[in-house]
Amino acid sequence: MMTSDEPSGRPLRESIRDRLRGRIIDGTYKPGDRIVERDVAADFDVSRLPVREALRMLNSEGFVEMLPTRGVIVKQLSKKDVTELFDVREALEGLSFRRAAENLTKKDASKLIALRNRARKAVAADDHAALHDHNEHFHDLVNDLARNDLLVSILEPLEGRLHWVLRQNKDPQRLWQEHEDLLDAIAAKDADRAAELAIEHVRFNKDRVTKYLFGATPKDSAAG
85-104 pLDDT tens trace: 999 999 999 999 999 999 99
CB 111 within 8 A of CB 223: no
Q: How far is CA 107 from the centre of its chain?
A: 24
CB 188 within 8 A of CB 104: no
Q: Is the pLDDT of residue 220 over 70?
A: no
- The residue type at 198: A
For position 218, what pLDDT does the model report?
41
Q: Is the pLDDT of residue 113 over 60?
A: yes
All domains of the chain in start order, with CATH = 12-74 (1.10.10.10), 79-217 (1.20.120.530)
For position 169, what pLDDT does the model report?
77
For position 222, what pLDDT does the model report?
40
Q: Please tell me the pTM assigned to this model.
A: 0.79
CB 151 within 8 A of CB 98: no
Higher pLDDT, 6 or 132: 132
Query: Which of 118, 224, 211, 139 is closest to 170 using CA atoms?
Result: 211
- The residue type at 152: V
42-69 pLDDT tens trace: 999 999 999 999 999 999 988 999 999 9
